[in-house]
A = this chain, B = another copy of it.
Amino acid sequence: MVGETIGSKLVSLGHEVMMGSRSNGNEKAVKWTKTAGSHASEGSFNDAARFGELIFNCTKGEHAIEALKMAGVLNLKGKIVVDVSNPLDFSKGMPPTLSICNDNSLAEEIQAAFPESQVVKTLNTLAAPIMVNPNSVNGGNHHIFLSGNDGQSKAAVKEILLSFGWKNDHIIDLGNISTARGTEQLLPLWVRLMGVFNTPMFQVQIVR
């Protein structure tokens, strides 16, 4: 769902987008290409990683590194990997715990597994519809966060966020990739707030 939402938005902005799956011809991916338009295509994770100049990881956190390995270390080399995933562990029931947290993060694990890629963590703290339409909540007055080791890569991802409708001063650069510990650990509060509100259509605003 996250991948389709982001993919469709990117296509609507004029980008060429290939949706990766375990194998090409994935039923959902094929269906997505038909709704998303002529700039949308689909293939294996490996196909998509070769195709893309910039990669969005929108897999479930528990499968993220496996999926990125299927995409291929060499195909991701020198590219930005935007990590939108969260290490949610539903195996012990609801609400989920985190499979990685506290002194580590999934983003750091991905960066360590793909040292020649530039991992930028963002968009992992909110529901998919808001990611690509920030104005849908509180007139766009709320925040997202960026974590990553490379300033240029974060700047490139910020450009994409601006094109999604995010305002410059609503994107908070937290620092290096280890700061993703902060945003990934926001999820335990997020899932409980979703329980209180009965909707994922809310956001965090930092006020001063």
Contact = CB atoms under 8 A, between A and B. Distances in A.
7 contacts: A101-B185, A142-B207, A172-B196, A173-B196, A175-B195, A183-B189, A186-B189
B193 A174 contact: yes
A202 B208 contact: yes
A202 B206 contact: yes
Contacts of A101: 101-102, 185
Quick one: which of A92, A141, A145, A208 has the most chain B CB within 10 A? A208
Main secondary structure of the interface of A (DSSP, over half): mixed
A175 B204 contact: no
By size class, the interface of chain A is 35 or more
A204 to B, nearest CB: 6
A138 interface: yes
A185 B188 CA distance: 7
Contacts of A145: 189
Given A188-B185, A193-B174, A206 B203 contact: yes
A74 interface: no
A103 to B, nearest CB: 5
